[in-house]
Amino acid sequence: MSSLFLLIGVIWFTLLAISAFLVIFIAPIDIVIFNNRTDLYITSIVQATIAILIVLMLIAFLNYLKKLYIQKKLHIE
Amino acid sequence: MIFSDINSLIMVLIYGVFASAISFLTVYFAMPKAIAFLLEKGMIVQDYHKSERPKVPRPAGPILIIGVTLSLMVIYCLTFNEKILAILFTTVIAFIIGFIDDKKVMPGWFKPVALLIAALPILLLGAYDTNLNLIFGNAFIPLLYIPVILIAIPVIGNTINSIDVLNGVASGFILIACIPLIISVYIFGNVEVFLASLSLFFVTLAFYKFHKFPSKIFPGDSGTLLLGAMYGAIAITGKSELIAIIALLPAIFNSFLFLSSVKRVVEHREITARPTSLTDDFKLSASTDKKAPITLLRLLLVDGPLSEHELVNRIFKLAIFSSILALISIVIQYYFVLGGKI
């Protein structure tokens, strides 16, 4: 039971880390990379693509966590 | 949410009490009549987790939708806010989809695909904000937000549907997860959606009285989908998306475990190898079958068999834990997004 609490805590912390990354690096991308000179929708597409990639990475990470947890607890692949 | 004067605060309190009372009392007094009606019509299913295998009426969805509709109609008549209409239409469409599934055995893809329609009222009525609250600040995502809405409603609807495996779990889980959602909508959203969130909480509270262990009625797909879709619609229209997801983490994790182990969208009844089994003394134990899907229940049972009541309590402990994490996230978001000012 305590390991499930830990797992939920790790997932929460990962969500917070991703949120911080998106706010600090991806949200101001139009100013940092495009110097505020690109069309709003082009910036949006770039931000959306990066955000989707990050979500896919999150799913892959969760899958890895799940495999580790299940191998430890249920002893199956 | 800013109250310009004491009068507006009093008005919100009056509206809140009114909306909460309508939703709670409708479900509380109508449910016993619905139970009697369903028993008389033979609309019952067996509760396989108990030794006596009692026959439990199903579905409770029609009574829940009456409570939600009455309450939201009153809130709309008092506020004329289109976000309330969006929440109402989303909830009603999710209920209809669930009711079809209650009446007729539909394929596994039906609910997730059909729930895309339930997300449309939010888009068509423009009841969303293009700024997504991301705990540490906002992200302006005008394009990405539309697919986010289209994904969120089916995911949350099916998540609540998937966790509805034991007496009282779906309603109890929504009740616990509603607390951080209500607080978040109050701080970051608007007053109308806050009233709608109270409606969801009190409908579920009244229903929990009949759904808790040992259940007197089951929600059915119509009940779980409407509760999940309404929760998702409130999260979107109340600018509390990430907080809502954090509060639901154990339920979302359960759906993720199931999907990643069966590797396709499938109904639980189509699975031949069950994730749990019953012992001779009617306790639940984790399956040792390698082909059985991995679920939250199976993981909770790895240390040994548990009675249904013990297992429900463990799921609620996880729900309380994730709701505490959501409350911590609200505090962090409060300082980063609002700078400590409501």
**Helix%, strand%, coil% for chain B, nearest 5:** 65, 5, 25
How far apart, in whole angstroms, are the C-alpha atoms of residue A14 and residue A21?
Answer: 10
User: Which positions ≥6 away from B156 have C-beta within 8 Å?
Assistant: B228, B229, B231, B232, B235, B244, B248
Full-model pTM: 0.91
Convert the pLDDT of each residue in B63-112 to its tens digit.
999 999 999 999 999 889 999 999 999 999 999 999 999 988 888 788 88
Give the percent of chain B with pLDDT over 70.
Answer: 95
Please give the distance of CA B203 from its chain centroid, rounded to a whole number. Answer: 11
Give the span between the Cα atoms of B301 and B337, in whole angstroms: 40
Residue of chain A whose Cα is closest to the Cα of B142:
A44
Element (H, E) at B285: strand B284-286
pLDDT value at position B139? 79
List residues of chain A with CB under 8 Å from any CB of chain B.
1, 4-5, 7-9, 11-12, 15-16, 19-20, 22-24, 26-27, 40-41, 44-45, 47-48, 51-52, 62-63, 66, 69-70, 73-74, 76
Minimal-distance CA residue of chain A relative to B136: A20
Where residue B210 falls among pLDDT bands split at 50, 70, 90? very high
- In B208-256, where do the E strands start and end? none
Q: Tell whether B249 is within 8 A of chain A (Cβ).
A: yes
Q: For chain A, which residues make up each domain, given as ranges?
A: 2-73
Mean pLDDT within B56-66: 95
| pLDDT surpasses 90 at B128 | no
- Kindly indicate the confidence band of residue B171, based on its pLDDT and cuts at 50, 70 and 90: very high
**Chain B neighbors of A73, CB-CB under 8 A:** 299, 302
Q: Which two tokens stand for residue B268?
A: 């639980």
Give Cβ neighbours of residue B233 (< 8 Å, ≥ 6 apart). B86, B87, B90, B91, B122, B153
Please give the ipTM for the structure prediction.
Answer: 0.87
* Chain A residues closer than 8 Å to B304 by CB: none
Instruction: Give the residue from A2, A4, A67 with the most B CB atoms within 10 Å of its CB, the best one to mutate.
Output: A4
